Amino acid sequence: IGAVLQIKATDWEALQAEIAASSLKDAIAVVGRVNNTDQLSVNGLTLDRAELQQAWSEVSHQIQRLRDNVETADQEFSLITDNAHQGLIAKPTFDLNEPVEAPFINTRRPNMAILREQGVNGHIEMAAAFDKVGFNTVDVHMSDLLAGRVSLSDFEGLVTCGGFSYGDVMGAGGGWAKSVLFNTKLRDQFEQFFHREDTFSLGICNGCQMLSQLAPLIPGAEHWPRFHRNMSEVFEARSVNVRVEKSVSVLLDGMEGSILPIAVAHGEGRAVASESALAGLNAGNQVALRYVDSLGNPTQHYPLNPNGSPEAITGVTSKDGRATIMMPHPERTFRALQHSWKPEEWTEDGAWLRMFRNARKFIG
């Protein structure tokens, strides 16, 4: 049995004396040192890291080509030798720790509906994020609205959470949306909520798919896309980079230009819209988020763009900015420790907490 450990050179210097005096002295030795050349050097032989990694990944790549979309499989494999690709980056344009919600925290706790349906599973993180910035978060199941136990008239904020409503067997978010559209009582209630100027709404992942189909009830959402199966033809669960665009979204105020890591987890996240609809979204500053590469440029390259959405669009907002939908999961990274990777200086708050703070600032 053997193991290879990577430790700091200073730690090895401190350990050497102890190891030399122990029974492990003949079992532990330095076998290599990290370098900056992107090459592996062994006994005078120099090997390129990219070539070694491709050799290691070749079998998986061939299986992926048979199982998934050939084009996206090849795109992912090609990233190994792309020297411009630097992985995840984080470049916020704002102070992560600025409490923009602070002036309003001690005034009141506005009611926030954390809406879910059968199969939705992202409501706990969502409630935690909105609670942290001063909302009174209320777990609202669709059955509560249907039975009349809860009314949206009592809320100033509404978020449709991520997960798999009805196990996605009725189409991603489709069954959930139709339970509103085909019920006169609920349709009127949702429409009244969306038209109130003192409210905001947010749809994430499955909730994004659901709200996109409620666009006829939402003022200024006529250009919103629908969301279809990923180009890769598989469920995507990974961390990616997105760029916050210049938009009218009240939730992304002050975040424009930021490039941030974020989690995605979806099987049907590819935005689908006509060219005229996309043009309308761009013209109205309604595109909120785009997938970007490690240079910060919008990309169609898989898996940097995990679903193949046109123009790398993954978040949009209404014309007045009060309704925002996005495929990624900001609630999964509102704390620094939730990130799979983050800059070392991020210790408590994650960059995406700013979005929730903006919500509290908007409500006032």
Active-site positions read: 205, 329, 331
The dihedrals phi and psi of 148, each to the nearest 5 degrees, come to 80, 10
Q: How far is 292 from 300, CA to CA, in rounded Å?
A: 8
Question: Is residue 346 classed as helix, strand or coil in its secondary structure?
Answer: coil
User: Contact 296/260 with Cβ under 8 angstroms?
Assistant: no
Helices 174-181 and 206-213: crossing angle in degrees, nearest 10, is 40
Beta bridge partners of 46: 41
Helix boundaries (H) for 156-259: 174-181, 184-195, 206-213
Q: How far apart, in Å, do the first and last CA atoms of the chain sit?
A: 61
User: Contact 335/348 with Cβ under 8 angstroms?
Assistant: yes
User: Contact 246/288 with Cβ under 8 angstroms?
Assistant: no
Q: Which residues contact 45 (CB under 8 A, 6 or more apart)?
A: none
Neighbour order of strands in the sheet with 313-317: 136-141, 111-116, 157-160, 200-204, 323-326, 313-317, 287-291, 236-244, 259-266
